[in-house]
Structure 1
């Protein structure tokens, strides 16, 4: 597998705080990787160093075979970056915003308009950014990051401000981008999002990379019991679900039964704990 991103011993310190602590990470070309972690785990700082936005204290990061730092002008047209906090030019409409971003990369205005349609903002094309809702502004930010057809896309909590319907629509968009051969890396707090979209998931805490594997492998490694919920509300917990299901079948009690194995959320909580993080 050819590496689109190669991170070796990447570290960022602020005084005594090790925001990112010796992370090694390889992302293959065309891979979709999700990065999970509690608040303050180091996800955004890691991404910013890989994107070339922040200087590492130690270690290195390369994207598409080129060093990310010092900020590499040859790399910029080949990557797309959607930051956690959207930033736009003042007093411009949504259409003017994306046309401006497109012009920076020599992309035709017609292509930019296509992206407005893909993220569902055609009806808001003539609205100024300050008139957009949080979710609409987030979708415009993503469109601006993708308008130049980058090979590698970095998305920092792209669905944080979206309602459930908009989230699912964006999942379809991101899956399509990845299916067309692009490499996608996103941070998210939504376990279902990472489980549905990512080929592999990295879980970070206290600046360290704890695990990096497929969602299925991480869940299997947890060895969590299976929960079987019956229509009357009874919950059965077992490590031999086939035996239990067969017993229920003999009793004609399978109608409406819900079977749930371990989830990525179970893995996350097992690794990072359950205490509240501000």
Structure 2
């Protein structure tokens, strides 16, 4: 994913940001054998999310879970986090993977995190404000020859910051600031494996823009690959610009086993 090939932005963040509790519940109960539409209908009828209204449950399915974790840009992304959930891995490992999938599925979140938040973090400028996010959204919409109402722009800007807060990238209830960068080594290795499954290999994996989602500078990415190698989460060898990366696992379940062996 790159800023130069960004799809048109949408306003889905108004309907739901991280929603980590709801999404985790749906991931743990999702069935590969049953059509998504019938699972959605059954979940709405049973009010599996315990929402006060049917429409709210429908929104979680249609605006958040399905476009991100079932039919999103990462095919059947729910399988990735389901492998981790089935092994009862801690939230420190789970949350970054949910964040990565969410950001890859929401172009406006991806661009804001990898362009604005990452660049501010590198400069040591930690304050993030709704009005600044709204101004950035308007600028991006102009480039796409689109216009949203002021109300929608502000609500999406609020959604951006609250989503990043829920994923631990920013902190603060009212005045928000960029949190110190931290990514558990197990989560790092699993995201690296997921990128590998998407066809990203070698030096491209080390240099990938997705690491900016976690506020990681290139030197930090290289250090985490080296540490992952030391802890037998993957195999990493680098000689100048020649990078060789290998994984013992061949499936999300296999990589989840590798991660769980270190975590438990």
TM-score normalized by the length of structure 1: 0.28
Greater strand proportion = 1
Larger radius of gyration: 1
TM-score between both structures, scaled by the size of structure 2: 0.29
Structure with higher helix content? 2
